């Protein structure tokens, strides 16, 4: 298995691009002061746009695809656990013998501890998805992000789980996130294939939207949060079942995320030993 090596760059792409923009501006200001605005303005626009492209490692390294070299994908579920939808999903995954990764919020994990236990007992992986799923992470300082991440880590620690992988809300990155993950000993995992379901607010044709674009080594983003109406839960579950069957029909295997990317997603305390998973 080809392992994705941790990024060892001393400077982010943002820092390097900013330095280049400054140097170009310094040169251009000699020619014409107005020309200096071009590289600086371009850099500013890039800084504003980068957070909203989940696969763009501008501020920090981003894992959005696997490196298995196999006809395989990983399936991830965000925003849970939810007492109405997660148990149904777990039954479906158990029936199909599929191991998924659940990026949970600290708030919901604390509210539904039995579901977290079931996730782990069934062999699924658990990642950190912030405490309250606030999009304000884009504007938070490094220390505030660390506090948010550690709040979720503390909740999951009660189950013997210590996530190593972090996924920010909606995959949004920010300047402070790089330092926060370094301080907490974590790395960022986003995704390469998603149905744009709006957190299960748009569940129609989820399977079709994924199946027409899925490729080997994709990290698939789905959600186990409940749809806006309880009556839509069977529709959502049916879409997931169609998707799983379609992935198999395409000759793709669903691997645990850790196998697809070649590095542990979490540790789990077994007795006195922290087992990497």
Pair 147, 38 in one domain: no
Pair 76, 197 in one domain: yes
- pLDDT at residue 3, as a whole number: 43
- 41 found inside a domain: yes
For 206, counting Cβ atoms within 10 Å of its Cβ (0-12 exposed, 13-18 middle, 19+ buried), the class is buried
Q: Is 132 helix (H, G, I), strand (E, B) or coil?
A: coil
Q: Domain count of the chain?
A: 2
Pair 77, 41 in one domain: no
Please give the helix or strand (H or E) that residue 220 lies within, else none.
Answer: strand 219-223
Pair 92, 219 in one domain: yes
- pLDDT at residue 37, as a whole number: 86
- 137 found inside a domain: yes
Pair 139, 34 in one domain: no
- 4 found inside a domain: no
For 232, counting Cβ atoms within 10 Å of its Cβ (0-12 exposed, 13-18 middle, 19+ buried), the class is middle
Placement of tokens 């991440």 in the chain: 149
- pLDDT at residue 237, as a whole number: 98
Angle between helices 175-184 and 142-157 (to 10 degrees): 40
Q: How far apart are CA 113 and CA 131, in angstroms?
A: 14
Domain hosting residue 236, numbered range: 72-276
For 198, counting Cβ atoms within 10 Å of its Cβ (0-12 exposed, 13-18 middle, 19+ buried), the class is exposed
- 164 found inside a domain: yes
Residue 250, domain CATH: 3.20.20.370
C-beta neighbour count of 40 within 10 angstroms: 15
- 126 found inside a domain: yes
Pair 203, 115 in one domain: yes
Pair 173, 246 in one domain: yes
Pair 18, 103 in one domain: no
Choose among 115, 114, 75, 111: nearest CA to 96. 75
Enumerate the β-bridge partners of residue 222: 77
Pair 209, 254 in one domain: yes
Q: How many residues are given for the chain?
A: 277
- pLDDT at residue 14, as a whole number: 65
- 111 found inside a domain: yes
C-beta neighbour count of 77 within 10 angstroms: 27
- 5 found inside a domain: no
Q: What are the residues whose beta carbons fall under 8 Å from the beta carbon of 194, sequence distance 6 or more? A: 210, 220, 221, 222
- pLDDT at residue 108, as a whole number: 98
- pLDDT at residue 45, as a whole number: 79
Residue 242 preceded by cis peptide, ω within 30: no
Placement of tokens 């957070």 in the chain: 51
* pLDDT per residue as tens, the chain (277 positions): 444 444 444 577 867 777 776 788 788 888 887 887 887 788 677 777 767 778 778 889 999 999 999 999 999 999 999 999 999 999 999 999 999 999 999 999 999 999 999 999 999 999 999 999 998 887 899 999 999 999 999 999 999 999 999 999 999 999 899 999 999 999 999 999 999 999 999 999 999 999 999 999 999 999 999 999 999 999 999 999 999 999 999 999 999 999 999 999 999 998 888 999 9
- pLDDT at residue 121, as a whole number: 97
Placement of tokens 């370094």 in the chain: 182
What does DSSP assign to residue 133? Answer: -
Pair 79, 116 in one domain: yes
- 264 found inside a domain: yes
Pair 38, 86 in one domain: no
Pair 144, 233 in one domain: yes
Enumerate the β-bridge partners of residue 187: 165
- pLDDT at residue 4, as a whole number: 42
- pLDDT at residue 23, as a whole number: 80
């Amino acid at each position: 298995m080809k392992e994705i090596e941790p990024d060892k760059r001393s400077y982010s792409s943002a820092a390097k691009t900013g330095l280049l923009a400054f140097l170009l501006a310094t040169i251009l200001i000699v020619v014409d002061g107005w020309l200096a605005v071009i590289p600086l303005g371009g850099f500013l626009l890039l800084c504003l746009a980068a957070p909203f492209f989940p696969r763009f490692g501008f501020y920090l390294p981003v894992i959005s695809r696997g490196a298995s070299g196999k006809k395989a994908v990983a399936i991830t579920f965000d925003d849970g656990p939810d007492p109405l939808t997660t148990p149904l999903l777990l039954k479906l995954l158990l029936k199909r013998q599929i191991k998924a990764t659940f990026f949970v919020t600290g708030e919901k994990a604390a509210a539904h501890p039995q579901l977290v236990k079931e996730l782990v007992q069934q062999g699924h992986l658990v990642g950190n998805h912030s405490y309250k799923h606030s999009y304000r992470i884009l504007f938070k300082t490094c220390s505030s992000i660390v506090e948010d991440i550690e709040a979720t880590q503390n909740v999951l620690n009660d189950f013997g789980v210590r996530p190593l992988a972090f996924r920010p809300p909606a995959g949004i990155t920010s300047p402070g996130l790089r330092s926060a993950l370094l301080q907490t000993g974590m790395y960022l995992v986003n995704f390469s294939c998603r149905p744009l379901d709006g957190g299960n607010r748009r569940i129609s044709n989820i399977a079709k939207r994924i199946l027409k674009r899925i490729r080997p080594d994709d990290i698939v983003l789905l959600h186990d949060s409940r749809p806006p109406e309880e009556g839509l839960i069977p529709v959502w579950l049916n879409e997931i079942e169609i998707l799983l069957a379609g992935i198999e029909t395409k000759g793709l295997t669903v691997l645990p995320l850790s196998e697809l990317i070649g590095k542990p997603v979490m540790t789990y305390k077994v007795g006195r030993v922290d087992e990497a998973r």
